[in-house]
Amino acid sequence: MAELIVLGFKDETTADTAISELENMQREQLIVLADWARVTRRLDGKLDVRQATNTAGTGAAGGALWGTLFGLIFLMPLAGAAIGAATGALMGALSDYGIDDKFVKDLGQKITPGTSALFLYIVQATTDRVVDRLKELQPEILRTSLSQEAEEKLRQSMQPSA
């Protein structure tokens, strides 16, 4: 079962460092992420949100492909591609997969200016190895969908080694 874990970081850049590390761990097959989102709350209080999945872009690409195919059938491939891309982008922008955007923005408003947070929607992980690699970044666990017992174990395992 997939789990949501939100990690907080003491500055604006560490969440980006964590994303790079998580991408490396995915290539090593230590973790499978369904989605992630990074929120940085700048010192002026504004939020900068970056997500793994751009649904509008993905929808536009898929729509262009299907539009071209239908356009070829009706001998108007360019018009079909344009209409398909526009429709796909609109459908992609209206659909929301993975982590809820409202949840990301609401929690992002609650973090301290000058800090960042990373929302992870984890499908599968080799927990001990993933925790060991992320522990170096000194994350604070802000929220999880884990049981209280599992969340407490995770909090303890993320503590820096003495």
Burial (Cβ within 10 Å: 0-12, 13-18, ≥19) of residue 84:
buried
119 neighbors 2 (Cβ within 8 angstroms): no
Alpha-carbon distance of 75 to 124, in angstroms, equals 46
Alpha-carbon distance of 162 to 25, in angstroms, equals 25
Q: Is 104 helix (H, G, I), strand (E, B) or coil?
A: helix
Parts of the chain belonging to CATH 3.40.1520: 3-53+100-157
Q: What is the pLDDT of residues 93-139, one digit of tens each?
A: 444 456 888 888 888 888 999 999 999 999 999 989 999 999 999 99
Out of 2.30.30, 2.60.120, 3.40.1520, 3.30.70, select the CATH number for domain 3-53+100-157.
Answer: 3.40.1520
Q: What is the pLDDT of residues 109-120, one digit of tens each?
A: 889 999 999 999
pTM: 0.71
> How far from the centroid of its chain's Cα atoms is residue 49's Cα?
9
